[in-house]
Chains A and B, each alone.
Chain A
Amino acid sequence: MAHGHHIIPLRTLSMVFGALLFLTVVTVITAQIDLGLLNIPLALAIAGSKAILVVFVFMALKYDNRVNLLTVVLGVVFVVVFLVLTLADTEFRGSLGITEPAIIEASPESSDTGSRMP
């Protein structure tokens, strides 16, 4: 028998829906104002909060088995891993490399000058 499932009260569901609409208005308004560096983090923070509301209440993860929560957390962690390690490349291309072309000399005293380019 599938008894004992948590029934989320209508009041909770309605409040969450209201909060989601409110956050949508907030993100639209704040996007019209230029906050400089804060633009992207703020928009992502609002979107993140909305996602958390949906996951925990609408998708009932708050009342659910812990293993389902673990599954979602793992998924999100590996999205972050994917993003961070890829950006570790794309954001720092050429930052440590030697960009000036140089000719590798054969004579012993000029060897190992750190030149990588042919």
Chain B
Amino acid sequence: MSSADTTLKHYFVSHEQQFDAAKLGMWLFLVTEILLFAGMFVAYAVYRSWHPEVFLQASELLDWRLGALNTVVLLASSFTVALSIHFVQKGENDKVVVLLIMTLVCAAIFMVVKYFEYSGKFSHGVFPGAGFEPHGIVDGKDYSKYDIPFAPQFFSIYFVMTGIHGVHVLVGMGLFGWLTTRVARGHFSPQYYTPVELTGLYWHLVDIIWIFLFPLLYLI
């Protein structure tokens, strides 16, 4: 108990109360994240319903294989996070460190793939907004044929949604790096592992956002 007492804030009565409060706070924060992304999903829905054929055509320029790869990578990272919580609850902290590093690697792979996708688009003039001027031929697709009205809107939405999602991935990577050192220094135990739990919740939400982005942007 004595080691756990240092983690109990004076304004809480019990660890149970403190843990539940932190968790409810995190869920509320996740709801704000959902509504933040909701704005972009609404913009997507409106423009897609106005210009369905443009969206179908423009989405051909996104490589679904890279999207699928990133989906699998993020799902795997969610799995490793879920496992790390399983093991931190059992007190097997060495396994937690390995799992968190694996998560970090997955997140890094995701960002690298995203980097190649973005740079491939930029090099052929597919920019968000005013710079939109597609040119060149990739995989037999003539980019200049995609310079049609409202294709810029598709790519604006694509870049804004995946961009803000990417920022969330980067934040997650920072959090996991910080957590890994704390686990390695033995800060957590089955009695107190709130930061691991909360970061895990955040990461699963980032995963869920991508679960929706992938089919909407790459597939349909």
Contact = CB atoms under 8 A, between A and B. Distances in A.
- Taking the complex as a whole, does A directly touch B, i.e. does some CB pair lie under 8 Å apart? yes
Interface in A20-48: 20-21, 24, 27-28, 31, 39-40, 43-44, 46-47
A2 to B, nearest CB: 5
A103 interface: no
A59 B34 contact: no
B207 A75 contact: no
Contacts of B23: 64-65, 68
Contacts of A58: 78-79, 81-82, 200, 204
Contacts of A7: 86, 89-90
A2 B192 contact: yes
B75 interface: yes
Given A13-B86, A54-B211, A87-B45, A1 B68 contact: no
A27 B90 contact: no
Interface band, chain B: 35 or more
Nearest to B1: A1
B14 interface: yes
B108 interface: no
A27 B215 contact: yes
A14 B81 CA distance: 12
B204 A72 contact: no
A28 B68 CA distance: 8
Select the residue from A2, A13, A46 with max chain B CB neighbours within 10 A: A2
Interface residues of A, number: 48
B64 interface: yes
A44 B214 CA distance: 10
Interface stretch (B35-43, B137-145, B149-157, B171-179): B35-43
A82 B220 CA distance: 22
Given A7-B86, A82-B42, A91-B49, A28 B219 contact: yes
A10 interface: yes
A30 B126 CA distance: 28
A3 B191 CA distance: 7
Interface stretch (B25-33, B116-124, B127-135, B159-167): B25-33
A74 B30 CA distance: 12
Interface of B: 1, 4, 14-16, 19-20, 23-24, 27-28, 30-31, 34-35, 38-39, 41-42, 45-46, 49-50, 64, 68, 71-72, 75-76, 78-79, 81-83, 85-86, 89-90, 190-194, 200-201, 204, 207-208, 211-212, 214-216, 219-220
6 contacts: A1-B1, A28-B219, A31-B220, A75-B35, A82-B35, A83-B38
